Chains A and B, each alone.
Chain A
Amino acid sequence: MIAVSGLDVVRDGRPVLREVGLDVAEGSWTAVIGPNGAGKSTLLQAVAGLLPHTGRIRLDGREGLRGRERARTVAYAPQNPLLPEDLTVLDYTLLGRSPYIPYLGRERAEDREIAERALLRLDLADFAGRRLGRMSGGERQRVVLARALAQQAPILMLDEPTTALDLGHQQQVLELLDELRLTEGLTVLTTLHDLGTAAQYADTLVLVSGGRVAACGTPAEVLTADLVGAHFGAKVSVTRGPDGRPRLALERP
């Protein structure tokens, strides 16, 4: 669904990503992990087409997608989405319909229905008329998901979807994301700084370090004590959970 090869990104004269390759299967959840400053967010932004880059990026079998056509293929949310506080939840969700509305056009009844359906899907229908400034952190993340869902793109890219959420809301958002992926058949690409979370939810992990892909594979293949030690400088012990996924625990040096 997403095929990236030879991706180079230069920001402010400094190479941030070099020769990055990536393959994401349709309907899977791939998490990009890596130490701070490794280029995780840059990778997502480049794949979403928001940064100048060289290399090949194929989305849904097509290369060189631009503008509204690309927006119908990829829905993207940054780490800290701007939520205009006076905009209502419904108006914000309707923004997800932008790729389907011509430059000076208006949304049709169908667009409104799709947005309302996205709100219902995420249990936000009762908040449709509420201003974003009055929503709590967990609710705001759900609203961002609702907008992405209204975009009806087969690929969903989220940069750290659980930052600034407490543990309960983190779990809620991740479970929701997984359920959307399974029921809507979405392909999910996220960055996740929490390795435990990445191990629990993702099918595939891509470890980015120093602007290159250092390892790629199932959580069990990537989250080894050696790789984590080498790239994060952290001493961890790795065990297997009953589901076969790795469990990490910090060890004091």
Chain B
Amino acid sequence: MRDRPAVEAAVKARPRRLRPVPLAAAVAVLLAAMTAGLLEGAASLPPGEVLRAVFGLDSTLSPMEHALLTELRLPRVLLGALVGGLLALAGAGYQGVLRNPLADPYLLGASTGAGLGATLVIVHLPVAASYGVPVAAFTGALGGVALAYALGRAAGPGTGTLILAGVAVSSFLAAVQTFVQQAGVDRLEQVYSWLLGGLAGASWQSLGMILPYALVSTAVLLVHGRLLDVLAVGDDEAASLGVDAARIRLVVLAAASLATASAVAVSGLIGFVGIVVPHAVRRLAGGSYRILLPLSLLAGGAFLVVADLLARTLLAPGELPLGVLTAFIGAPFFLAILRSTRGRAS
């Protein structure tokens, strides 16, 4: 141990650690991804004119090109960034409250609940599918998680019970979904295309529909970074630090589920983003949720915009299912990060 004066001198000499740097880098990556998403596609548009048009200046784009840009590509890129960000942020939130690195936004029944809701509408209310599916998926996602939470809490305290309840609820809802789907085999293709996920239906309307929920859930999650760090040391120690773990778990779970429900309502089930992006960020920028949450939001957005760009250009004019592509490019990318940071993080 050092004596007092030496300690005081060293405290003053210690530089403050900089956190804005990774944040600025993530913003730059997201903006670059979104720009690429706007410029590229089945039809390439001249970059200078696209940027002029996006910022409301006069451009030489033809009316059709202009409509392609503002009615299709722009909302799609924005929605991709939002959905990817929400899924990654929700994934980080779930991992934090459940203290489980394998947690993802779909673990507690959000995906199967949403799948059941969407399938019900597609099979039984096909006329209302365009607005009914998002609403039913949103409701189903929240309902699935609420059911898992209620059953988990009734069975006992602790995060393990909650996860097991989530697994049980997921299996049950998946079974019901399959049953409903069998009743309407003629609509199987529609159901599958929804389950695989994608942004082909992106519009200003779908963006506007989820924006309020997205903003609320994002704000709630981002302000809980410090408390998620406290939760990471366990419920007892959190209590000894004056933090009520159960209350924070409920608030963060609710916000993360709202974020997940918003994302699946407009994009179906896009896997892998919610688990891979937070882990990649954790490896590269550290495990504090104060930095992990905002970085996951930004990196998740960038990741999905790039994935969607590839999904609609690789087989143009056809489209690959986005959920397939996120796993296809996400898994190798993730393994590369695991390898390259192996020495540093473990």
Whether A78 and B2, one on each chain, are in contact in the complex, defined by CB atoms closer than 8 angstroms, is no
Which of chain B's residues have a CB closer than 8 A to the CB of A83?
A: 233
Q: How near does chain A come to B135, taking the closest CB pair, in angstroms?
A: 31
Find out whether the CB atom of B242 lies under 8 angstroms from the CB atom of A74.
no
Report how far A116 CA is from B232 CA in the complex, Å: 21
In the complex, what distance in Å separates the CA atom of A104 from the CA atom of B244?
A: 13
Least CB distance, B132 to chain A, in whole angstroms: 37
Residues of A within 8 Å of B16, CB to CB, are: 112
> How far, in whole Å, are A103 and B225 apart by their CA atoms in the complex?
11
Contact between chains at B14 and A86 (CB < 8 Å): no
* Alpha-carbon distance between A104 and B251 when the two chains are bound, in angstroms: 12
Complex Cα distance, B228 from A104, in Å, reads 11
Query: Is B236 touching A45 in the complex (CB atoms < 8 A)?
Result: yes
Q: Is B315 an interface residue (CB 8 A)?
A: no
Q: CB of A49 within 8 A of chain B? A: yes
Instruction: Give B231-286 interface residues, CB cut-off 8 Å to A.
Output: 232-234, 236-237, 239-244, 282-283, 286
Which residues does chain B contribute within 8 Å of A176, judged by CB atoms? Answer: 1
| A contact residues, total (Cβ < 8 Å) | 52
Contacts of B1 in A (CB 8 A): 121-123, 176, 179
Q: How far is the CA of A246 from the CA of B7 in the complex (A)?
A: 37
Q: How far is the CA of A218 from the CA of B237 in the complex (A)?
A: 30
| CB-based contact A87/B229 at 8 Å | yes
Q: Give Cα A219–Cα B7 distance, bound, in whole angstroms.
A: 35
From residue 142 to 159 of chain A, which have CB atoms closer than 8 A to chain B?
Answer: 151
CA–CA, A101 and B286, complex, Å: 22
Q: Could you tell me if B2 and A121 are in contact, using CB atoms closer than 8 angstroms? A: yes
Fill in one digit per residue for A120-140: 1 if any B CB lies within 8 Å of its CB, else 0: 111101001101011000000
* Cβ-defined partner of A98 (8 Å) among B6, B242, B290: B242
Q: Once the chains bind, are A71 and B242 in contact (CB under 8 Å)?
A: yes
The residues of A that contact B41 with a CB separation of less than 8 Å are none
B242 CB → nearest A CB, Å: 3
Given contacts A88-B286, A88-B288, contact A75 B10 (CB under 8 A): no
Closest to B2 in A: A120
| Closest-CB distance, B5 to chain A (whole angstroms) | 11
- Asked, given contacts A70-B242, A98-B241, A120-B10, whether A86 binds B345 with beta carbons under 8 Å apart, the answer is yes
Docked CA distance A123–B229 (Å): 23
In the complex, residue of chain A having the shortest beta-carbon distance to the beta carbon of B238: A98
Whether B11 is near chain A, meaning CB under 8 Å from some CB there, is yes
Please tell me if A221 contacts chain B, counting CB pairs below 8 Å.
Answer: no
A14 lies within 8 A of chain B by Cβ: no
Please name all residues of chain B whose beta carbon is closer than 8 Å to the beta carbon of A39 when the two chains form the complex.
none
Chain A residue at minimal CB-CB distance from B223: A104
Tell me the minimal C-beta distance from A16 to chain B in angstroms.
16
Please indicate the chain B residues that have their CB under 8 angstroms from the CB of A107 in the complex. Answer: 226
Nearest CB to that of B346 among chain A residues?
A133
Contact A67 to B242, CB < 8 A, known contacts A85-B346, A87-B232: yes
- Residues of the A chain whose Cβ atoms lie less than 8 Å from the Cβ of B282: 86
In the assembled complex, B339 has its CB within 8 A of some CB on chain A: no
- B229 pairs with A96, CB closer than 8 A: no
Q: Is the CB of B243 within 8 A of A85?
A: no
On whether A120 and B242 interact (CB within 8 A), knowing A86-B286, A91-B229, the answer reads no
B7 touching A72 by the CB < 8 A rule?
no
Residues of B within 8 A of A76 (CB): 237, 240
Distance (whole angstroms) from the CB of B41 to the closest CB of chain A: 38
Q: Would you list which residues of chain A between 52 and 82 have a CB under 8 Å from chain B? A: 67-72, 74-78, 81-82
13 CB < 8 A contacts A-B: A71-B241, A82-B232, A83-B233, A86-B345, A91-B290, A95-B229, A98-B242, A104-B224, A117-B11, A120-B6, A121-B7, A123-B2, A151-B241
- Inter-chain pairs besides A74-B240, A81-B233, 9 sampled, C-beta below 8 Å: A48-B240, A70-B242, A86-B283, A87-B288, A88-B287, A91-B290, A98-B226, A120-B7, A179-B1
Binding site for B on A (CB under 8 A): 45, 48-50, 67-72, 74-78, 81-88, 90-92, 95-96, 98-99, 101, 103-104, 106-107, 112-113, 116-117, 120-123, 125, 128-129, 131, 133-134, 151, 176, 179
